[in-house]
Structure 1
Amino acid sequence: MDELKTKYTFWKLINQYDIEIPIMQRDFAQGRINEKTNAIREGLLDSLFRSIDDECNIDFDFVYGTVQYEKLFPLDGQQRLTTLFLLHWYIAMKEGKLTDEVSEILDKFTYSTRISSREFCHALVNFDFDLEADTKVSEVIKNSNWYFRSWDKDPTIKAMIVMIEDIHAKFFDAEDMFDKLIRDIDENPPITFSFISLEDYSLTDNLYIKMNARGKSLSNFENFKAKFMQYLKNQGFEYKHFEDSIDNKWTDLLWEYRSKDNTIDDAFIRLFTFITEMIYTEGTEAKDMNSPYRTFNIATFIKTYDSNEKVQRLYEMLDLWNSKDEIYDCMKSIFSTEYEEGKTRLFDNNCNMMDRCLSGENLSFPNKVLLYMVMRRLVYYKKQGNTDDGINDYARVIRNLVSRIRTLSGYVYQSDFRYGRHAIPFVQFIAANLLGADDVYKVLPSLTAPTAVREENLQDEIDKAKINNEDVYNKLRIQHLEDSNIFKGSIHNVIGLLADSNEDYTDIFESIFSADNTTLVTRALLSIADYGIRLGGGALGDRVYFGTKGNWNTILTSKRDDSYAEIFYKLITQYNKITAKNTKDKLKEIIDTNQKSIDRMAWRYYFVKYSRMLGKLNMLYAFKNRKENNIKIHRMDGSTLNGYHIVPFYREIALQLGNEKCDLDRCRGINSEEGTIVLKCGVSVEQSEDGGWVISREDEMKDVVDEGIDEVIQKYDSIEKDDLDYVEQGVMLCAMLYETLNSK
């Protein structure tokens, strides 16, 4: 077949033959509108533009076809030939060179797939109009008197118009291109291909099937390899390493991540996407934007590598490891899923972030930043030829900083780390200040944080660094506590404890906050001060959260002021002084001791004294105000008002009265309705604004109830109540009402 193969340009081919796309061929597809085709079309036009503008030849591979009576029927290459046909027409027309002779030559290209496609091609090559940069070429074509509305349904015509529009956007500003396009084959034409004539065959369905059975459309990976290699060569960048490694070393690295069809295409695309996205991140301007790499667009990815430095960085990243085992060993030496001395704990139960990336798991941006900057450091020390003894501290500081960009969702902290707002400035800050630091803790005190990193978060790391720099044991104590589930790197509220003592407090905090001690812990903390976190407001007042088992992190790591840190300081100090053997007994003793000093008018007094006032689920309460003497507080069943809620004081009174006297189910409110104490004697009781009691009756029992209520009020007012708290007073009043009214 070598004798039949000849180098051609489109202009040479169309001058030599009439070109007819056979009826068995598919419609023109390069103008379809979908994510993948858009990317292919953009990359194709970029390559064509560069080849013509730079006068740098691009090889369009092979075009196969059979020739009958000077007419060529392409069997492979239809898409490329159609694009070249449209490009020649557009440039000739734009440059005023669409002469009768040129139109006549271009008219030799046609489609036999549909009559409409054939007629469109004929009309197009004879169509000439004035162009401006903002001309909507598709509208001009469709508004022409030769264009039939029925052609809108022809997929080939639709695709051709899309391609023309994109050609216009890409080539309008270019000049003097047509003469370059039609150069003779021996005058360095910009676009060539090898044409193989199969004139010994007849044009049959069987031939077409055989020709197309030899392969399928190129995958994203195959397209990428070819186009990236061509790009590197055209730009004069180092390409030999890519050429040597893509099918050898890097294939070996990714082979254990191969797909079911035994290809590494997906794994390589994932790895290349991650590295390219982060290289772009390190070099671009920080602004609020989405990542341009959310989908794989070959043209976008290739354009990232606009310098040899970036190309070399890509190679360095890809060369870091030789096998899946090496990746595992490296990740395991730096990260862990539980606290391990000398490692940085990750809190999502899988410390091998690179394995997750290659396996198709979507890494969060905090994890991407952490993984990339660790890889950058590995490369840095590898090039230096030095051992990196500080990589754990480096990784730990990054983990802490990225994890502190968060927001409350309900009453649980979720990451609020955005690509443009955070990832870009974080990567640049770390690369500029920490990447090559042998000991990051010695560098930290001299740094100033950019806005995105947040000064207070950097200050937390500086505060820890100052303690760490004093003693190796101090660093171990801090890192042990940081890696606890209840802190997850944020220990700013308890750093004072570590500074004042040499004790490792991790076991103490975990024994208090990790066990099933929610009610006791809440009462112990409230016995010291009001520590609740405000989550928002509503019809019933501010929503305040007090913490629950499994989510004490919200409480322990939220506020950032001395008074809040003082609460935890007092709790742990008191806890350590008590000689009781177990945590529950120690907490009970703290409660009993502190309760004596709480004002009995304060709502905290009742939460501390009466354990049943606290819930067992979300510990979420609504306060009309947070004043000490306010007892009209609603305990919420859910995180919003769209559910039941009850005043804890009313609930405690109802429980003490018992089901015989009080209808506990009717004491609850729903949505914005407030609950009351509903007695089984025709009345309900609630607290008044001045701290007294309001008694309401059911209308059908008006006379009997009014008489009984008056009697109870007189008797209640005559009793000395100075030694009784609100709950005890409420129980007494309700009991009197029940007994009096039921005796009538």
Structure 2
Amino acid sequence: MIEQHLKGYPSTFIELFEPPGEGRPAITSIEIPIIQRDFAQGRPDDEASGIRERFLDAIVRACVSDAEMALDFVYGDVKAGVLRPLDGQQRLTTLFLLHWYVASRANALDPAAAWLRFSYATRPTARDFCESLAENPYPGGPASPRAWVTDQPWYLYPWRQDPTISSMLVMLDALHERFVADAPDFSDVWARLEKRSDRAVWFLFLPVADMEYGEDLYIKMNSRGKPLTPFEVFKADLEGMLKPVLSGSDCPVIGHTHDRYEHLAMSIDGDWADVLWEYEKADDSDYVVDDEFMRYLTFIIDICEWRDGQPDRRWRDKAASREWPIEERARLAFADENNANADRNRDFFFHAFDTWSGVDPAAEFSSLFTAGGSGDGPLPLLVSASPDLFGSCISSYGQEFSLAETLMLFAVLLSRQSDGLEPPARDQRLRTLRNLAESAFIDRKRMSEYVGTVERLMLQGTLENAQGFNAEWTADEVEKWKVADAHPEVVPALHKLEDLSVIRGRLFAFELDPETLPTRANVFELVAHPSVRDSLGAALLTKADYSREVGWNGTRRQLGSSTKDDSWRDLFTTGSRASVARTRIPLMELLDDVHQRMEATGGSADDGLVAIRREWLADRESRRHFDWRYYFVRYAGARSAVGEGYFHNNGYDESRGGFSYGRLRMLHGGSYNAYFSDALLRAAWVEGNLGAVAREPKWWHRDDPGMAIAQSSVEIRCLNDSFEIVVPDDNEDIAMRASAALATFPGADGERVHIEQAPVNGALVDREDRVQRCIQLVHHLYQANL
């Protein structure tokens, strides 16, 4: 037995090199054996960084306080005074660097000290680097250890390619950052590291000097000449925990004669590994499938916890964000006698792997989904980069694999597990789930509810008692089911609309009238194209004020942007079927109008939008009715082509026509801190091509800004009934010249230029085009040398 050869001795790094005693062997040097891997604790990846940060925090705390740090076991083969560690390489390397750094800073580095005889047999470069460190103390100063070392004449160019050296330099800088932050007396720290009692940092040393070959212990404990991967540890534990509940049970996979436990043992290194191996070959990756296994297993265990209604079962200590190890989570899901769903969870675990044996998962998913697109054929996934959800899961679950994709993959697995689910029903249910999940914010805290809804949808074909998803959305899906069942001829139109990026499955903005739906769907696909999006926004305003309140105590409203899909998506899909009526009614009227014009003239949808806009503007101009809608319809500069596509006004009053003219601001973002423009001043700046004479009316954190004439900084501000002229403070000359210039401009009165207005339905409406008047005013001031 291996245990017969092991006796432990508490030790610090320096104590390892003390004279032998009480059975402890003499150690004169440490050499990391060639069977070991490179020093890895200095790697820059997230996992290594997280481990390193916690590890060094504890070590430095022990060095500068009365705390202690126990580093568990270090064991190795000792021959002729040379310790070759079989476990503990990473910790010993870190301790060597810690002692070198502290001794250097304490002016206590003695190149002859025994503890400096530390080297690597894995690479000559690493061995030479350690020898050079022992001879050259770090002096401190502004340069970090890494910067100082790499600037020394003894630092050789080939060392830059050694991963162990690179990791050592990262570790030194990480130590340096912590000690600099604590600013200790390094003489005191060194004295603490030298202590033989009340040790600061120590470990239990297990020498195995009486074994013929030390590597035997390493191989016996690790099964091969390198550390076990997390998956290999998990696999051994999984087989052990499942054996009592699987042995003797029938294997559910057709064609297998062994029991379920034997099937697990054979498949986990056989058929299941082969499926993952095909992805490794295709990706030209590291040709190790362990990480892929662990990601998929984590997905399966997550699903089981959510199905069990136990999403918090993963936490050992939720307040401290400490999860149970994956082995314990697997036991609780698959083998806990107190879990009434353990049988179901085991079935799902086996199915989730077995279902891909002997098939090409990528081909299976390509028959179901496509990334983007619309129309007949595979269902478009509107927010996924790849239709192969299995491939995406094994490569990025827990990182970039979204919760919506998690639900879709679960749905596919359920459909493959259900014997009676025919493709038409499966495809309809997957489409419904896509409509619900891809356009929603999925809250991880509610995944148990989503998963339950998905299970009922896929296996029972119902959305009754749907949880997690918005009730209005699920009601919309049920309504579409009814229409499709009663009028199957409209299904292509429904699908066409659902697949558009500005809709993403939700049809609140459409009347589900089977008589008109196909035609309207065809026209909408044309007018919603990004190339005519600006014309759509202008033409839709001719039908009605379709703006939507979006917060800020009623002072922030939304219109569609010419470039942002999400502004239109919000208008078309946010809220409920009832609340979207404000957009739906004018939209249906517009689509019918465009269709009639296309039928009558043979023109394009864009031609129809342009004609609708032109005729509406002509009518307004003939009646001299210039309200805010007129300005937005006529002038592209007043319509949002940037940012969020939102407009803000302190005086919006629907009963008085909507927006007033003063302080009508176009937001370039969705927060108070965003840039903004005065929409009507910007319309004048764009329409009049005023960039050469006036600054763009775009501001940040100004209360009442105006468009400034470039030469004089005289500002023109837009008020409800006029334009106000504001001159720079304390500039009497400009004030006098501005006053003289205004005296000759039509409508001027003191510092204001009034706009002719008339009362309409309780509100004053412009009787002249103020945008054109503003353009004239800018040119007038510019010609007056202002």
For the aligned pair, the TM-score class normalised by the smaller chain equals: 0.5 to 0.7
CA distance in 1, matches of 2:438, 2:716: 48
Conserved? CA contact 1:335–1:351, under 8 Å: yes
Aligned to 1:513: 528
1:503 is aligned to 518
Q: Which of the residues 322, 343, 354 maps onto 1:319?
A: 354
What is the identity, as a one-letter code, of the residue corresponding to 2:679? P
- The question of whether the paired residues in 2 share the 8 Å contact of 1:224 and 1:298 is answered with yes
What amino acid is aligned across from residue 483 of structure 1 in structure 2?
Answer: D
* 2:653 is the alignment partner of 1:622: no
Alignment of 1:681-720 (within 5 A): 684-689=715-720, 691-697=721-727, 698-703=731-736, 705-706=738-739, 709=742, 712=745
Equivalent residue, structure 2, for 1:227: 237
SS at match of 1:527: helix
Contact (CA 8 Å) 2:314, 2:329: kept in 1 or not? no
SS in 1 for 2:294: helix
Q: How does 1:192-271 map to 2 (within 5 A)?
A: 201=212, 215-234=225-244, 239-258=261-280, 262-271=287-296
Distance 1:735 1:479 in 2: 51
Aligned CA distance change for structure 1 residues 150 and 572 (closer, same or farther; 3 Å): farther
Equivalences for residues 226-375 of structure 1 within 5 A: 226-234=236-244, 239-258=261-280, 262-285=287-310, 297-305=326-334, 306=336, 307-323=342-358, 325-337=359-371, 338-347=373-382, 348-360=384-396, 362-375=400-413
Task: Answer whether contact 1:687 1:693 (CA < 8 A) is retained.
Answer: yes
Identity over the aligned pairs, expressed in percent? 18
Aligned 1:635-650 pairs, distance under 5 A: 635-640=666-671, 645-650=676-681
Q: How many residues align?
A: 571
Instruction: Report the secondary structure of 1:694's partner residue.
Output: strand
| CA shift for structure 1 position 523 | 0.8
Q: Pick from 453, 470, 478: which aligns with 1:462? A: 478
Separation of aligned partners in 1, 2:293 and 2:608: 56
1:614 maps to a residue whose letter is R
Contact map agreement 1:339 1:483 (CA 8 A) in 2: yes
In 1: Cα distance, 2:744 partner to 2:78 partner:
113
CA apart distance, 1:425: 0.5
The answer to whether the 8 A contact 2:555-2:649 is kept is: yes
Does the C-alpha gap of structure 1 residues 207 and 328 become closer, same or farther in structure 2, counting only changes over 3 Å? closer
Task: Note if contact 1:270-1:360 (Cα within 8 Å) is conserved in structure 2.
Answer: yes
CA distance in structure 1 between the aligned counterparts of 2:678 and 2:423, rounded to whole angstroms? 59
* Map of 1:178 onto structure 2: none
Q: Which of 565, 569, 573 is equivalent to 2:588? A: 569
Query: C-alpha separation between the residues in 1 aligned to 2:298 and 2:718?
Result: 63
Q: How big is the shift at 1:603? A: 1.0
Partner Cα distance (2:241, 2:227) in 1: 21
Residue 602 in structure 1 maps to residue 633 in structure 2? no
What CA distance in whole angstroms lies between the structure 2 residues aligned with 1:715 and 1:215?
91
| 2:465 equivalent in structure 1 | 448
Counterpart for residue 448 of structure 2: 424
Report the CA distance shift for 1:532/1:728 in structure 2 as closer, same or farther (over 3 A). Answer: closer
Equivalent-residue separation in structure 2 for 1:403 and 1:727 (angstroms): 44
Residues 120-139 of structure 1: CA deviation (Å, up to 9, x unaligned)? xxxxxxxxxxxxxxxxxxxx
Is the 8 Å Cα contact of residues 651 and 659 (structure 2) preserved in structure 1?
no
SS in 2 for 1:522: helix
Change (3 A) 1:357 1:646: closer
CA contact under 8 A between 1:621 and 1:634: conserved in structure 2?
yes
TM-score (norm 1): 0.65
Amino acid at match of 1:517: V
The 1:229–1:21 alpha-carbon spacing in structure 2 relative to 1, beyond 3 Å, is farther
2:665 — aligned with what? 634
Q: Distance in 2 between matches of 1:288 and 1:243?
A: 27
1:314 positional shift: 0.9
Higher-Rg structure is 1
Aligned-pair distance for 1:502?
A: 5.1
Counterpart-to-counterpart distance in 2, 1:684 and 1:35: 57
315 and 671 in structure 1: CA distance in 2 versus 1, 3 angstrom threshold: same
Matched, 1:730 2:747: no
SS in structure 2 of the partner of residue 725 of structure 1: coil
User: Following the alignment from structure 2 to structure 1, what is the Cα–Cα distance between the partners of residues 713 and 87?
Assistant: 90
Partner of 1:549: 563
Higher mean C-alpha deviation, range 545-554 or range 603-612: 545-554
1:483 aligns with 2:499: yes
2:547 alignment partner, one of 508, 520, 532: 532
Q: Which residue of 2 aligns with 1:413?
A: none
User: Aligned in 2, Cα 1:614/1:420: closer, same or farther, shift over 3 Å?
Assistant: closer
Q: Where does structure 2 lack aligned partners over 5 or more consecutive residues?
A: 8-21, 33-40, 52-74, 90-114, 116-194, 248-259, 337-341, 759-765
Alpha-carbon distance in structure 2 between the residues aligned to 1:199 and 1:493: 81
CA shift digits 1:596-643 (9 cap, x unpaired): 379935311211123343343334433233232512312344555656
Matched residue of 1:314: which SS? helix
Determine the C-alpha separation between the residues in 2 that align with 1:708 and 1:7: 102
Q: Structure 1: how far apart are the matches of 2:356 and 2:475?
A: 35
* CA–CA separation in structure 1 for the residues paired with 2:228 and 2:754: 94
Look up the equivalent residue of 1:428 and give its one-letter code.
Answer: G
Offset, 1:530: 2.5
Contact map agreement 1:547 1:555 (CA 8 A) in 2? no
- 1:470 Cα deviation after fit: 0.6
Corresponding residue to 1:392 among 405, 427, 436: 427
Structure 2 residue matching 1:549: 3-state secondary structure: coil
The code of the aligned residue for 1:336 comes to T
The aligned residue for residue 123 of structure 2 is none
Which residue matches 2:254?
A: none
How far apart, in 1, do the equivalents of 2:219 and 2:354 lie?
41
Matches of 2:785 and 2:685 in 1, distance apart?
17
Query: Residue 572 of structure 2 contacts residue 583 of structure 2 at CA under 8 Å; is this kept in 1?
Result: no
Distance in 2 (alpha carbons) for counterparts of 1:478 and 1:214: 58
Is contact 1:448-1:455 (8 Å) kept?
no
Q: Which amino acid aligns with 1:513?
A: A
Task: Give 3-state SS (helix, strand or coil) of 2:556's partner.
Answer: strand
Tell me, in whole angstroms, the C-alpha distance in 2 between the residues paired with 1:315 and 1:289: 21
Calculate the TM-score normalised by the size of structure 2. 0.62
Deviation string 1:497-543 (CA, Å, 9 cap, x unpaired) is: 544425254442222111422331111111122333455549x9526
Q: Could you tell me how far 1:277 is from its partner in structure 2?
A: 1.5
Choose the corresponding residue for 2:457, options 420, 425, 434. 434
User: Aligned partners of 2:595, 2:386: CA distance in 1, in Å?
Assistant: 35
Distance 1:649 1:336 in 2: 44
Deviations 1:662-718 (CA, angstroms, capped at 9, x unpaired): 9321654333243324457885433335x2343334522444544554565777799
Task: Give the 3-state SS of the residue equivalent to 2:418 in structure 1.
Answer: helix
Could you tell which deviates more after superposition, 308-317 or 640-649?
640-649
Question: Which deviations, in whole Å up to 9, do the C-alpha atoms of 1:181-212 show, x marking residues without a partner?
Answer: xxxxxxxxxxxxxxxx99794x8x89989999
The amino acid that maps onto 1:651 is: R
Tell me how far apart the structure 2 counterparts of residues 288 and 672 of structure 1 sit (CA, whole Å).
Answer: 51
Q: Letter of the 1:356 partner, please give it.
A: S
Root-mean-square deviation (CA, aligned residues, Å) is: 4.9
Where 2:374 maps in the other structure, the secondary structure is coil
CA 1:706 to 1:241, structure 2 compared with 1: closer, same or farther past 3 Å?
Answer: same
